[in-house]
Amino acid sequence: MKSRILSLLSLFPLLIACNPEEYSPVVKDGYEINPPVYFGDYQERIPNDNPITKNGFALGRKLFYETALSADNSISCGTCHQQELAFTDGKAVSEGVEGKLGKVSAMSLSNLLWTENFTWTGKFNRLTDQSLDPIKNPVEMHLPLEQAVEKLEEQGYATDFQKAFGSYEITVERIGKALAQFQRALISSDSRYDQYLRGEIQASPAELNGMNLFFTHPIPGQLRGANCGDCHLGPLTSGDIDEFQGFHNNGLDTDETMDSGLMSVTGKPEDKGRFKAPTLRNIAVTAPYMHDGRFKTLKEVMDHYNSGIKNSKTLDILIIEGSNEPVGVHDEIRLHLTEKEKEDVIAFLHMLTDESFLNNPKFSNPH
Ligand code: HEC
Ligand code: HEC
C-alpha cells in the first residue's frame, strides 16, 4: 500500500501542472488513446498543432515500418524498434544501414507522451524532431530528408498525406508529425502492475516485497529499500519529472572511463556521465541493458546497483546516500541487499511486462 501511495504521489507535480481548459479536444476523426487516470492528464501534452487522428495514426504507422525511408531501402524504424521487444532490437548497440554500428542501444518506445527529453542524452525535446533525426542520421537510416519526401511521392503516399493532413503535399514536417502521432498512441497500461494498481489482481508475496523495496529509499536499521523509485518514478516508471529532469549518473563508470552523457548536449562538466533514466516498462523483454547494452540480464543490473557502483565526481547523490548499512562504515558504495531481496525486485520488474501492448495488432507492421 505504501508503494502505491508513493507512486501516485510521485505523479503529483504532473497532475497539478496540467490545465485541461487550455486544450480544445474537439478533433474530427480523433484517435482515442484513453490512458488510465493515474498516468495524469494527457490532453494538454498533445501539441495543439498535431492532434492524434485516425488517419494521422495510420500514416504514422505505415511510415514507421517504411524501409523506403532508409538510404538502401533495407531498414525502417521498426527494424531497431520491434514491437515484441517493446520496440527495442535486442542488441547492445543498434545497427543502421550497411551494418553501421551506432554507439548506443535502441530505446524502448511506450508512453512517450509523458517524457519530454528524448534519447539517452536528451538531444531533443520535441518528438517530431526526434522522429526525423534517425532518417537522416548516418549510423541509422542515412537518407537526406528531401530525398525522403521524393521517395514517398514515388511510393504513392500522397493520398495518405491528404487523408491525414487535408492536402496531398508531402513535407518533412508532416512526416515528423505523422510519426509522432503513431508513437504517442503507443500506450502501455495493462501490465500486471497496472492491474494491481487498479485493484484487479493480487500481487504475490515476492512481487509485493520487490515493489516495496523498489519504491523505498533505505534508512539503515529502520527501513529496507532498493532505492530504484528515487530515479525510476511512478506507474509509468520513467523519470522525466524529478528535479534532475530524469538525468542521472548511476555509477556505471569512473571519471576516466565514462561517456560524456548529458554533457555532450549541455557542455556542463557536472552533467558528465548523466544519462536519461529510461522507462522500465516491459524491461524484462528489452535486454541488453543500459545506454551501451553492457548488462545481459536483470540479475546483472541488480548486482550492479547492489555491489558494482563505481565512484566518480558526478555520481548521483541518491546512489551515494542509498544504502541499507550506515554510509561511511564501508569503503564501497553498496546497497547491501540480500540475494532474496534482489530476486524480489526482479519479480517486481517482471510485473511491468504488458503482453497486450507487445501483441497489440494496431501497432504491428501494416505493409
Ligand atoms: C539503426 C537503429 C534505429 C533506427 C532505424 C531508428 N532508431 Fe530510434 N533509436 C535508436 C537508438 C540507438 C536510440 C537512442 C539514441 C540516442 O540516445 O542517441 C533511439 C531512440 C529513439 C527515441 C527516443 C526514445 C526516448 O525515450 O527518449 C525515439 C522516439 C525513436 N528512437 C524513434 C524512432 C523513429 C520514429 C525511427 C524511424 C524514423 C527510429 N527511431 C529509427 C535506434 C534506431
Ligand atoms: C540515481 C538514479 C538511479 C537509481 C537510484 C536507479 N537507477 Fe536504474 N537507471 C538510471 C539511469 C540514469 C539509467 C540509464 C543509465 C545508462 O544507461 O547510462 C538506468 C538504467 C536502468 C536499467 C536499464 C534500462 C534499459 O533500458 O537499458 C534498469 C533495468 C534499471 N536502471 C533498473 C534499476 C533498478 C532495479 C534500480 C534499483 C535497484 C535502479 N535502476 C536504481 C538511474 C537510476
Q: For residue 340, give its domain range.
A: 192-356
Count: domains in the chain = 2
Kindly report the protein residue whose alpha carbon is nearest to atom 18 of ligand 1: 119
Kindly report the protein residue whose alpha carbon is nearest to atom 6 of ligand 1: 77
User: Is the CB of residue 39 below 6 angstroms from any atom belonging to ligand 2?
Assistant: no
CA 277–ligand 2 middle distance (angstroms): 6
* pLDDT 10s digits, 58-110: 999 999 999 999 999 999 999 999 999 999 999 999 999 999 999 999 999 99
Q: Where is the domain boundary, 153, 187, 221?
A: 187
Residues 221 and 350 in one domain: yes
In terms of Cα–Cα distance, which of 241, 255, 55 is closest to 160? 55
User: Is the CB of residue 271 below 6 angstroms from any atom belonging to ligand 1?
Assistant: no
**Residue of 94, 216, 250 to test ligand 2 pocket, by largest number of atoms within 8 Å of CB:** 250
Q: Where is the domain boundary, 138, 166, 187?
A: 187
- 261 phi/psi in degrees, rounded to 5: 65, -135
CA 238–ligand 1 middle distance (angstroms): 17
What is the number of the ligand 1 atom nearest to the C-alpha of 279?
A: 26
What is the number of the ligand 1 atom nearest to the C-alpha of 278?
A: 26
Contact between 88 and 107 (Cβ < 8 Å) = yes
Domain harbouring 96, CATH code: 1.10.760.10
Residues 231 and 319 in one domain: yes
* pLDDT 10s digits, 307-356: 999 999 999 999 998 899 887 655 678 899 999 999 999 999 999 999 99
Find the helix or strand (DSSP H, E) in which 340 lies.
helix 339-350
106 grid coordinates: 535502441
User: Is the CB of residue 215 below 6 angstroms from any atom belonging to ligand 2?
Assistant: no
In a domain, 119, yes or no: yes
Please tell me the predicted confidence (pLDDT) of residue 81.
98
Q: Where is the domain boundary, 161, 187, 213?
A: 187
Residues 114 and 262 in one domain: no
What is the four-CA torsion angle of 15, 17, 22, 25, rounded to 10 degrees? -40
Note the ligand closest to the C-alpha atom of 103: 1
User: Is the peptide bond preceding residue 47 cis, with omega within 30 degrees of 0?
Assistant: no
Neighbours of 222 (CB within 10 A): 8
In a domain, 196, yes or no: yes
Alpha helices (H) in 111-242, listed in sequence order = 127-136, 145-154, 158-165, 172-184, 192-197, 205-215
Residues 87 and 200 in one domain: no
In a domain, 95, yes or no: yes
Between 15 and 330, whose confidence is greater?
330
